[in-house]
Every structure is written in C-alpha cells, then in structure tokens.
Amino acid sequence: MIPLKQLFQIVEWWIKTNELDHFEKALKIKTLVLKCKTQG
C-alpha cells in the first residue's frame, strides 16, 4: 500500500502535469483516493 504522504505527492505532480481545473481535480483525486483505499 502506498503511504499517504507519497500518495499526495503523486496527486500533486499529476495535477501539475495535467493542469486540470478544480472541479475535474476534485473528482479525479476522489476517485484515485477511493481506489487506493479499497485496494489497501
């Protein structure tokens, strides 16, 4: 399982790379976090 700190670093990098607007970010981050939680 990915440590939470590392997960946030990945999410932050991913946002900067994809330059998504805030609404898109929120949805995709939520999906990503939920996916990680269910796998862990």
Tens of pLDDT, residues 1-40: 778 888 888 878 877 787 666 777 778 888 888 888 787 6
pTM: 0.42
- Asked if residues 2 and 36 have their Cβ atoms less than 8 Å apart, the reply is yes
- What is the predicted pLDDT for the residue at 16? 79
- Asked if residues 2 and 32 have their Cβ atoms less than 8 Å apart, the reply is no
For 1-39, give one letter per residue: b (16+ CB within 10 A) or e.
eeeeeebeeebeeeeeeeeeeeeeeeeebeeeeeeeeee
